[in-house]
Amino acid sequence: MRQTIVAGNWKMNASKEEVSTLVMGILSGMSEVESKVIVCSPFPYLSQVEALTTHSQLHLGAQTVSIHPSGAHTGEVSVDMIKDFGADYVIVGHSERRSMYGETDQDVANKVKTVVDSGLTALFCIGETLEEREAGETEAVVARQIQVVIDTCGIDAFRNIIIAYEPIWAIGTGVTASPQQAQDTHASIRALLATNDENIAQSTPILYGGSMNPSNAAELIACEDIDGGLIGGASLKAEDFLQICKAG
C-alpha cells in the first residue's frame, strides 16, 4: 500500500562535475527502479539537477529551509526559492542540523510547518543518540520529537510529511541499526500516529536512515513498517544508490 521511497542526502558534497556524473548515472538505471527516488542536493546545484531531471522519474529535494518567506535573512533560502527550482521535498530536522546548528524540536516543527504550508513535502528526521538508546529512551525521544510537530502543525500535516527515523549512532558510522531495532522503533512511531489518526498512521511513509547500503537495504526495507531509506554516504555513488533503489 505504501510505495517504497529512497531519498539521497548528498549533504555538503559534490561539485558541478560530480553532480552531473552522479545524476546521469542514476538516470541511466531508473528504468529498473520501482521505488520513488528523491535526491536532496546542496542549494547551489538545485538548478543543475532540475535541468538534468526534467521529465524524469527522479524527484528533487533541498536539505533545509528558512522559516521566513523573504527579506533580510542573509544566507538563508526560502521555500519559494526552493519551489522555483522544481524541488518538491525538503529535509527538515536532520540530526546534523540539530546538533551542529542548534535546531531545537520547536525550530524543526516550525520548519516542517513552513514546508507543508507551502505545498512541499517535508522529509522530517528524528532519532536518538547512543546514550539515549542505551538508557532505553529511544521511543520516548522519537515520540517527543514527533509530538512537537503534531502540536505545531496538526496531525493532518502528516499527509505531506515523510518521516525519516535516523538513529544518530548509525549516521555515517558504518554501524546500522539491526532490522529488528529499526522495525521496533518504526512500529512505535506508527502506533503514536495511530493514537491521533489511524488513516494517517497507515499512509505516512517512515524511512530508515543510518549507514544504509546496498548490502543491508533489502533486509531493512523488507520490514513491515520500514518504507524505504534516507541515504547519506551511499547516495554519492550512482551504482550503490541504484542498488538501494532497486532493493525496495
Does position 61 interact with ligand PGA (CB under 6 A)? The reply is: no
- 87: region left, alpha or beta (phi > 0 left; psi from -120 to 50 alpha): beta
Instruction: Kindly state the smallest distance separating residue 230's Cβ from ligand PGA, in Å.
Output: 5
Q: How many residues bind ligand PGA (CB under 6 A)?
A: 13
CA distance 109 to 127: 15
CA distance 3 to 7: 13
Instruction: Kindly state the smallest distance separating residue 53's Cβ from ligand PGA, in Å.
Output: 20
Instruction: Kindly state the smallest distance separating residue 87's Cβ from ligand PGA, in Å.
Output: 17
Q: For the chain, where are the E strands, in sequence order?
A: 5-9, 36-40, 58-62, 89-92, 121-126, 161-165, 206-209, 228-231
Tell how far CA 221 is from the center of its chain: 15
Does position 163 interact with ligand PGA (CB under 6 A)? The reply is: no
- Would you list the DSSP string of 135-192? TT-HHHHHHHHHHHHHHHH-GGGGGGEEEEE--GGGTTTS----HHHHHHHHHHHHHH
Residues 246/28, Cβ–Cβ less than 8 Å:
no
DSSP 42: -
Q: Which of 96, 103, 128, 166 is catalytic?
A: 166
Whichever of 63 and 110 has its CB closer to ligand PGA, that residue is 63
Cell of 51: 535541468
Instruction: Kindly state the smallest distance separating residue 110's Cβ from ligand PGA, in Å.
Output: 21
Does position 172 interact with ligand PGA (CB under 6 A)? The reply is: yes
Binding mask 73-102 for ligand PGA (x = CB under 6 A): ------------------------------
Does position 166 interact with ligand PGA (CB under 6 A)? The reply is: yes
Does position 211 interact with ligand PGA (CB under 6 A)? The reply is: yes
Binders of ligand PGA among 9-38, rule CB under 6 A? Answer: 9
CA distance 96 to 78: 20
Q: Which of 59, 94, 128, 186 is catalytic?
A: 94
Does position 8 interact with ligand PGA (CB under 6 A)? The reply is: no
Catalytic residues: 94, 166
- List residues binding ligand PGA (CB under 6 A): 9, 166, 171-172, 209-212, 230-234
